């Protein structure tokens, strides 16, 4: 029997042992499967993270673009701060429905300020039927003004914060549609007073040109010279020929020495203000000393001619009177002779006749 068992081969394992082996193999396969599948399961997570990250960068880019307009806020705040610190000036004009000419008012501004412009209009009809508009130059100003009616008078007000030269110019209020009545405010910088009459001098002399600004103080002055259409700035002294004084005052002077014919022409004095620029004119005429000498010779010649004419007239009248005087003397001589002869005859004896 043992020999037969040896021929049959090894003994078949029992069922519990096979079950344990199967469970062990299944566990190893499961562990191996989990370890190898983990990277593939992480891919969707990485893609999701990459997608979220790309979306975040794109969103950041959009924020920077949309935030760009807000960079102007400091400028607006600065303008509002300047406007709030400025002084207030109020100017008004009055008009009626029967005004034939536009009403204008010039306003001189040297430095930034708040300007309140008021137009008063007295219509003959209903106040509510009058159309009111404002313009800056030719540009229509929309919704930037107030309109009020009190006691039969229509008021409109426009306030301007004048900070630089862009706000300068003409502001006009209009009343009505078909027959418009217009009132205009002209915002200007101060005017410069030069010299209206030409300044006359002579070769080799020195001259001082003067420009003034009444009740104002420009930031700077600049002189321009030239005897043609091109004006050349005068800033650097050339051999002490030009001397400029008062560049930061209300008056400026330009001294020119050793005048020549090339110095003749029109000179400009240019003033710079916070709100704009203005200029005045001075005309310089340079003469030679021969010019007054020629004038003197011409006057002397006229005097000589006048005296000669008077003498010739006297001589002519004397000659004309002389023949008539000789004739009168001859007649007087003959009359004397006749009177003498008559006297001799009358002096002889007279004989009385007897009756």
Residue 354 or 294, more confident: 294
Alpha-carbon dihedral 316, 319, 320, 322, rounded to 10 degrees: 160
Instruction: Count CA atoms within 13 Å of residue 311 on its CB side.
Output: 6
User: Is 58 a member of any domain?
Assistant: no
SS3 call for 166: helix
Query: 62: which 2 tokens?
Result: 């959009």
Residue 26 has pLDDT above 90, yes or no: no
The pLDDT mean for the chain works out to: 75
101 and 168 co-located in one domain: yes
User: Is 333 a member of any domain?
Assistant: no
User: Is 71 a member of any domain?
Assistant: no
Contact 168, 116 (CB under 8 A): no
Residue 90 has pLDDT above 90, yes or no: yes
Its domain, for residue 175, covers 84-188
* DSSP assignment string, 14-83: PHHHHHHHHHHHHHHHHHHHHHHHHHHHHHHHHHHHHHHHHHHHHHHHHHHHHTGGGGGHHHHHHHHHHH
Q: State the Cα angle at 198 between 193 and 200, rounded to 5°.
A: 130
- How far is the C-alpha of 178 from the C-alpha of 310, rounded, in Å? 75
- How far is the C-alpha of 297 from the C-alpha of 304, rounded, in Å? 10
Phi, psi of 253 (to 5 degrees): -130, 140
- How far is the C-alpha of 306 from the C-alpha of 315, rounded, in Å? 14
Instruction: Please identify, among 289, 304, 336, the residue that sits at the C-terminal boundary of a domain.
Output: 289
* Total number of domains constituting the chain: 2
181 and 196 co-located in one domain: no
Identify the pLDDT of residue 195.
Answer: 84
Residue-wise pLDDT tens digits, 93-105: 999 888 878 899 9
Instruction: Please identify, among 232, 261, 289, the residue that sits at the C-terminal boundary of a domain.
Output: 289
User: Is 346 a member of any domain?
Assistant: no
Q: What percent of the chain has pLDDT over 70?
A: 63
Q: What percent of the chain has pLDDT over 90?
A: 35
User: Is 354 a member of any domain?
Assistant: no
123 and 154 co-located in one domain: yes
Residue-wise pLDDT tens digits, 41-67: 443 434 444 444 444 444 433 323 233
User: Is 10 a member of any domain?
Assistant: no
214 and 279 co-located in one domain: yes
At residue 31 the predicted structure's pLDDT band, cuts being 50, 70 and 90, is low
- CATH number for position 225: 2.60.40.10
Residue-wise pLDDT tens digits, 277-325: 999 999 999 998 776 666 777 788 888 888 888 888 888 887 776 665 5
Q: State the Cα angle at 156 between 152 and 160, rounded to 5°.
A: 160
> Exposed, middle or buried, 190 (CB in 10 Å: 0-12/13-18/19+)?
buried
SS3 call for 238: coil
Which residue's structure tokens are 């029967």? 98
- How far is the C-alpha of 106 from the C-alpha of 91, rounded, in Å? 10
Residue 40 or 124, more confident: 124
- What's the mean pLDDT in 196-206? 90
User: Is 28 a member of any domain?
Assistant: no
From the CB of residue 311, how many other CB atoms can be counted at a distance below 10 Å?
10
- CA 154 to chain CA centroid, Å, is 33
Which residue's structure tokens are 């900070």? 163
Residue 166 has pLDDT above 70, yes or no: yes
Instruction: Please identify, among 188, 206, 237, the residue that sits at the C-terminal boundary of a domain.
Output: 188
Identify the pLDDT of residue 83.
Answer: 62
**Count of H-run helices and E-run strands, the chain:** 4, 17
Q: Which of 123, 286, 106, 96 is nearest to 186 (CA)?
A: 106
DSSP state for residue 258 in the 8-state scheme: S
Identify the pLDDT of residue 37.
Answer: 41
Residue-wise pLDDT tens digits, 111-151: 999 999 999 999 887 888 889 999 999 999 987 899 998 88
Identify the pLDDT of residue 332.
Answer: 63
219 contact partners, CB below 8 Å, separation of at least 6: 248, 272, 273, 274
At residue 335 the predicted structure's pLDDT band, cuts being 50, 70 and 90, is low
202 and 235 co-located in one domain: yes
182 and 204 co-located in one domain: no
């Amino acid at each position: 029997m043992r020999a037969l068992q040896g021929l049959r081969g090894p003994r078949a394992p029992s069922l519990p042992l096979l079950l344990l082996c199967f469970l062990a193999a299944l566990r190893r396969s499961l562990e191996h499967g989990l370890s190898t599948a983990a990277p593939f399961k992480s891919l969707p997570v990485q893609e999701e993270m990459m997608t979220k990250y790309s979306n975040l960068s794109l969103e950041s880019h959009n924020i920077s673009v949309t935030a760009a307009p807000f960079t102007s806020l400091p400028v607006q705040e600065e303008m509002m701060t300047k406007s709030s610190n400025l002084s207030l000036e109020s100017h008004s004009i009055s008009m009626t429905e029967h005004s034939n000419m536009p009403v204008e008012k010039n306003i001189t501004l040297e430095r930034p300020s708040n300007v309140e412009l008021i137009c008063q209009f007295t219509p003959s009809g209903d106040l509510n039927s009058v159309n009111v508009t404002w313009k800056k130059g030719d540009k229509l100003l929309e919704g930037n003004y107030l309109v009020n009616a009190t006691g039969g008078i229509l008021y409109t007000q426009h306030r301007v914060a004048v900070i630089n030269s862009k706000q300068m110019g003409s502001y006009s209020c209009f009343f009505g549609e078909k027959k418009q009545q217009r009132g205009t405010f002209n915002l200007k910088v101060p005017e410069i007073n030069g010299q209206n009459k030409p300044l006359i001098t002579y070769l080799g002399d020195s001259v001082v040109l003067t420009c003034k600004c009444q009740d104002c103080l420009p930031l700077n002055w600049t002189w321009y010279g030239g005897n043609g259409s091109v004006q050349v700035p005068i800033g650097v002294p050339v051999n002490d020929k030009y001397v400029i004084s008062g560049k930061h005052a209300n008056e400026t002077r330009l001294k020119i020495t050793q005048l020549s014919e090339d110095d003749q022409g029109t000179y400009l004095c240019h003033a710079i203000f916070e709100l704009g620029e203005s200029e005045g004119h001075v005309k310089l005429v340079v003469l030679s000393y021969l010019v007054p000498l020629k004038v003197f010779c011409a006057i002397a010649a006229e005097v000589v001619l006048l005296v000669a004419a008077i003498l010739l007239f006297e001589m002519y009248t004397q000659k004309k009177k002389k023949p008539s005087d000789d004739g009168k003397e001859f007649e007087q001589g003959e009359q004397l002779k006749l009177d003498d002869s008559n006297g001799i005859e009358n002096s002889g004896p007279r004989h009385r006749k007897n009756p």
